[in-house]
Amino acid sequence: MVFSSILFLFYFMPAAFLLYYLAPRPAKNATLLVLSLIFYAWGEIRYLPIMLASILVDYAASNMIERSGSHQGKRRFWLLVSVAFNLGMLGFFKYAGFFASNLNALTGLSIPVLSLTLPLGISFYTFQTMSYTIDVYRGQVKPEHNIIDFGAFVVLFPQLIAGPIVRYTDIRRELRDRRMNLDQISLGVRTFILGLASKVLIANNVGALWTETEQIGFAGLSTAQAWLAILAFSLQIYFDFSGYSLMAIGLGRMLGFEFPKNFDFPYISKSMTEFWRRWHMTLGSWFREYLYIPLGGNRRGAVRTVLNLFFVWAATGLWHGASWNFVIWGLLFFVLLMMEKGFFKSFLDHHPVWARIYMVPLIMMSWAIFAITDFSQMGVFFSRLIGGYAGSDWVYSLRNYGVTFALGILFSTPALKGTLERLERSRIASVLIYGFLTVVSVAYLVDATYNPFLYFRF
Amino acid sequence: MKKLLQYPVTVLFFLFLFGFSLTNFLTPSKAFSELENKYLAQRPAFSWKALLDSSDKGFAQKFEKYVNEQFPLRDGWISLKSRAESALGKIENNGIVYGRDGYLFDKYRSYDAGRLEKNLGLLERFAEKTPGLDRTLMVIPASYNLLTDKLPEGLGNIDQIREIEAVYERARQSGYRTVDAAAALMTHAREEIYYRTDHHWTTDGAWYGYEAFAAAVGRQAVRPDSALRRTSEGFWGTYFSKAKKYNAAPDTLVWYDLPVDSVTIDGSDVNGMYDLSQLEKRDRYAMFLHANNGVTVLQNSGAPEGSILVIKDSYANCFVPFLTQSYSKVVVVDLRSMPKGLAELIHSEKIEEILVLYSFENLASDSNFPRLLY
């Protein structure tokens, strides 16, 4: 089930919150577990056993690590069980087809290429549970003994399908004992509405232009139209992804959880280094914590640091989808970040105008690499992007999407943040703003012709 | 209670969710949407097998569709979205483009070239199977191709007139006569040849098509007496049903009360060429030839001798009445409603001429062309 649907808003949400709020305190996690499993299984009931297996394996492994006491060999064995299970699932469902087809191309073999529907949110919850067993192994956290509490952590429906990547340590205390008050619930409701509006009113609205452009084909685009199309995708991916995160954070608050922030106006960044501190923050910190630092981080000399970074960025790219364009996308950031590390960053920090001239086109071009999986198509698109082709197709696009573009650009900066916060102090103003956003979002959901779920590759 | 009042957004939000979900449960399902001119999804039957099916035939997807289409005040939400789109400066909604003077147009940026190729191949094989018959192909472009001065700049739609020329080129090689309907319509582009809210040509547009057809086959085009002209105001067409533009104006439907001896549809007699009861309903265009039926036979002893088979889509429905004044027998076949028996029909009805009449968009998308050979 996805958040931005009539089904979620008017069936699942009222029922779930009614049951959850009415459930006595000791039964709240059990209620949450059952609700989350229903949420997960809706439409893809075949994958429910995978989720249950995931809960059981990580529960068992983490508790066995604790029981192994100081016996390093055993502890390592159970850690390996968990990591192998999680990476194995991810590998099987997400990467098996990719590796098989590459291997076939390299060796001339013909291993059958599986194409499986990716279980919803698998890249998110395998990362969450892996971080948990690694933390237990490192002794940073005690394992969860109550399987219901643990299960509730793993399938917690708000962050299950599209992040943020919530680590066990983030919500451990709240899992046991959380207080819900109206302040928090009301903050949650408002955060949820902002997320819903980001997704439905901005992302879906501009995203249609990119999807149409893809359908027509890139060969006849004018250069202006190519830039408008990639601007549309840049705004779509940001408002879609950050919208989902906001909805998750909002729902979390309504349930009594405080999830970590995931996006912090990434498009105002003055360098790529800064961009990745503001974009999908929980993923960046996951890779730093559980890949970069275990590889040795920057403590093993310059060559090793570069190698580690290369590996982390290739993995970050590949995490976004089983296709080479994502690897290249990740490695582009490796190159840019290395350049910035070397000499560029201090220049950018001191020259905000140059920083924008560098960042804005480059971020947009990086999204072109992200969005186009076929390399020959990508070549065509880039040739249109830089070729200076004339045409009148952009006139229609600009006229049709101009206002939405302007709103998208405006809201990707914190320009109105202060005004909004001030307005929210007035009850009437906040009822008007949030009421307007909710009602218009619902109208777009009822008459939805374009409401994609972008994370089916993740 | 007093405390709750301090959180009006939260209270109203939950009231809104609960209010609509309760209303949804308590109100009976609607069968048909007048605004959208379509049947609405009903509550799907539950079965364990359907629950396990994750395709669009499974329970989950059907249930979501049902929930969306039966949402309380659906028409109001649709109109709100249409207003919001206009407020955002959008000049389209749901794939329908807003042109000048109240014209709505199709956004037609790509088509299935493979399907068109397949259909042309089937037309060639149909020609081989019908030797000795006089065959004509007539393909009608959509309104946006002719009413170019009403289009927004840079729309980038497919140039159907050019595509039709390429189609004609091939069809002539396999023995079809082709009729340049686009050129005939072009000379009258300033008149009301297409509806504003519907994808069809108007009865006037069809008249110019008929004139061009008659000239091509060498028959007399019989101009109907203007005293026979009938009109019906307030026609909302298919483009409107998709776009649901809140400030659109309806069209006027025109037909001529032309004389015919008899009309039979799939073997049973019906009263005349027009189903006037459709004028009370939303889909008024369906009054022409009683909408799309398998086999319609129209006899007119007052017309010159001759029998013609029309294989067609709905564009022909307002065209055929003119044809009945030039042929004593017109047999109309809609492949979408006639699974097989075409060869036998040609034989038993003693067909001498064949007219294949399609809009370009249907020619490039209809999957029923294999039925030409059965």
* A396 with B67: Cβ contact below 8 A: no
Inter-chain Cβ pairs, chain A and chain B, closer than 8 A? 138
| Closest by Cβ to B10, choosing from A185, A217, A399 | A185
| Residues above pLDDT 70, as percent of chain A | 98
Query: If you ran DSSP here, which 8-state letter would residue B44 be given?
Result: P
In the residue annotation, A320 being an active-site residue is answered as yes
B63 neighbourhood in chain A, CB within 8 Å: 7
Least confident of A16-25, A70-79, A109-118, A412-421: A109-118
Give the residue from A46, A424, A447, A450 with the most B CB atoms within 10 Å of its CB, the best one to mutate.
A447
Q: Please, are residues A235 and A202 in contact by the beta-carbon 8 Å criterion? A: yes
How distant is the Cα of A272 from the closest Cα of chain B, in angstroms?
32
Whether A61 has a pLDDT exceeding 90, the answer reads: yes
A3-17, A139-153, A386-400, B49-63: segment of lowest average pLDDT? B49-63
CA nearest to A405 within chain B: B88
What local confidence, expressed as pLDDT, does residue A225 receive? Answer: 95
pTM for this entry: 0.88
pLDDT of residue A342: 82
- Between residues A449 and B281, the one the model is more confident about: B281
Shortest distance between the Cα of A308 and any Cα of chain B, in A, equals 41
Residues A182, B4: C-beta atoms closer than 8 Å: yes
- pLDDT for A455 equals 67
Mutate to test the interface with B, among A214, A400, A427, A431 (most CBs of B within 10 A): A400
User: Are the beta carbons of B154 and A44 separated by less than 8 Å?
Assistant: no
Give the residue from chain A lying closest to B11, CA to CA. A186
Q: What is the pLDDT of residues A316-350, one digit of tens each?
A: 999 999 899 999 999 999 999 999 988 888 888 88
Closest approach of A8 to chain B, Cα-based (Å): 9
Q: Is A432 on the interface with B (CB under 8 A)?
A: no
Q: What is the pLDDT along chain B (374 residues), one digit of tens a residue?
A: 678 888 899 999 999 999 998 998 888 888 888 777 778 888 888 888 888 887 778 888 888 889 888 999 998 999 999 999 999 999 999 889 999 999 999 999 989 999 999 999 999 999 999 998 999 999 999 999 999 999 998 888 999 999 999 999 999 999 999 999 999 999 999 999 999 999 999 999 999 999 999 999 999 999 999 999 999 999 999 999 888 898 899 999 999 999 999 999 999 999 999 999 999 988 899 999 999 999 999 999 999 999 999 999 999 999 999 999 999 999 999 998 887 789 999 999 999 999 999 999 999 999 999 999 98
| ipTM of the predicted assembly exceeds 0.85 | yes
How near does any CA of chain A get to the CA of B121, in Å? 25
State what percent of residues in chain A have pLDDT above 90. 74
Annotated domain spans of chain B? 18-72, 104-373
Q: Which residues of chain A are within 8 Å of residue B7 when distances are taken between CB atoms?
A: 182, 185-186
Q: Which of the following is catalytic: A71, A320, A350, A351?
A: A320
Cα gap A336→A334, rounded to integer Å: 6
Q: How confident is the model at residue A457 (pLDDT cuts 50, 70, 90)?
A: low
